Structure 1
């Protein structure tokens, strides 16, 4: 795995091997990550990454958050509870010399947080954990009004009421949903 764009383009990340099924590590392939960021930063709903606060939930290796930092995001916060993934996250931050806020906690119990502009969600597939995490992140203040969401799942996720589904792209067994959070969700969560 490597960073595919921005100031760290070509920099290798800590080796994962074939992943860790027990830890649910399923790193997003370089070519898929590149396609995701191309879709994110181009087109009618393009996002300018410069200066954004990024939240990488179910972060795994942190490749999505580090990719956003490489491409101009101001800061990245990572939420991950698995020990193997936390070790990889810390190793990747060290390899890149990145300042990263790593929270070793369950995404379903994130505790109070500050709002982020761009949210990456890559929960274990088919367990409904993404929907549960989003509800808690909204309740605890982690998601800014009008935040942009990039959600990886095997099937179409159920978005909160008021959120706009902007696009969907299929990459093998992964469906990537691009959405925008509704402003009214913060009060109703």
Structure 2
């Protein structure tokens, strides 16, 4: 008779996600994962699968958390421009102060080029990010906070790709002033 698996799978996924986020896929060992999840390797294989399957589930979990955050921000009764500026400033703070920065960006560079499932999850996440930014920018335009001469689709695409460049710049140069100045410039361009 098979033994019942005795662990909280969602809590285990959260713990594994934190390890992958910190170390990356390639540097994370199976031992790192089972220690963090507080399970044995047979429980991992019997319920989730191997390291790759666990990673896919962790990336999905991470992107689901981001989507919930975006939905909450969009539902805010505050000025859409204020929400957007806060989001930009939080992105800057994560880039320059967070040890782990963005798991989606890390995963895109490390794994998505070779794993179609991860690529699809991240592509869907990128589309949700775009929609979040587009809606905030459009709402800001409707309220007269951003000039209606601007193209909300272009601005959303531009920011989506620009902040990934900020992340790369910080990894290479460790210059927080540079990242802050680029964010300030972007905000200034939005609000001219």
How high is the TM-score relative to the length of structure 2? 0.27
Larger radius of gyration: 2
> As a proportion of its length, which structure holds more helix?
2
How high is the TM-score relative to the length of structure 1?
A: 0.27
- Bigger relative CO (Cα 8 Å, ≥ 6 apart): 2
